[in-house]
């Protein structure tokens, strides 16, 4: 083995890696890993913008509606129902975040992430005082059940 052979090895590796990339559009030709640009374009084409924003609108409606919760949520079944509804708000935020991510809608995805944060905040406001981590008050007592 001569000195020239060792210098050619890194260059050969670069050439092998370069051969796996198409010069036409810069996408990967084979192998495992991230989806190609063509696959992403096909996924965007098959997902309608209307459907994505309808999901987002439904999630935002749930997030706004939970603010006007009409029932007592201090203890017992009312609290359980409220926490279940908060879980639905958070789940709908995740649901719309997945679809806005797939559709490459940056603003919609940001709104979906804010919905997830909103659901987590509402849940934390009810759960944390009851587990002793936050200050209790009349709306958020330290008990789970009604007396």
Q: pLDDT, tens digit, for every residue of 16-44?
A: 555 555 545 555 555 556 767 777 677 66
Regarding pTM above 0.85, the answer is no
End-to-end CA distance of the chain: 86
Would you say 125 and 66 are in contact if contact means Cβ atoms under 8 Å apart? no
* Span 72-107, pLDDT tens digits: 888 889 999 999 999 999 999 999 999 888 888 888
Alpha-carbon separation of residue 51 from 26, 71, 91, 99, 110 (angstroms): 30, 32, 17, 9, 17
Instruction: Give the residue among 126, 37, 36, 39 at the shortest CA–CA distance from 78.
Output: 126
């Amino acid at each position: 083995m001569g000195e020239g052979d060792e210098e050619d090895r890194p260059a050969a590796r670069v050439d092998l890696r370069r051969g796996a990339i198409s010069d036409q559009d810069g996408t990967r030709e084979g192998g495992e890993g991230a989806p190609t640009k063509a696959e992403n374009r096909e996924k965007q084409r098959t997902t309608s913008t209307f459907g994505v924003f309808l999901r987002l609108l439904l999630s935002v409606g749930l997030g706004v509606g939970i603010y006007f919760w009409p029932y007592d949520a201090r203890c017992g079944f009312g609290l359980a129902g409220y926490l279940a509804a908060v879980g639905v708000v958070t789940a709908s935020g995740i649901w719309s975040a997945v679809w806005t991510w797939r559709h490459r809608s940056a603003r919609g995805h940001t709104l979906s992430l804010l919905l997830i944060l909103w659901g987590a905040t509402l849940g934390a406001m009810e759960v944390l005082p009851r587990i002793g981590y936050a200050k209790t008050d009349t709306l958020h007592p330290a008990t789970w059940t009604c007396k």
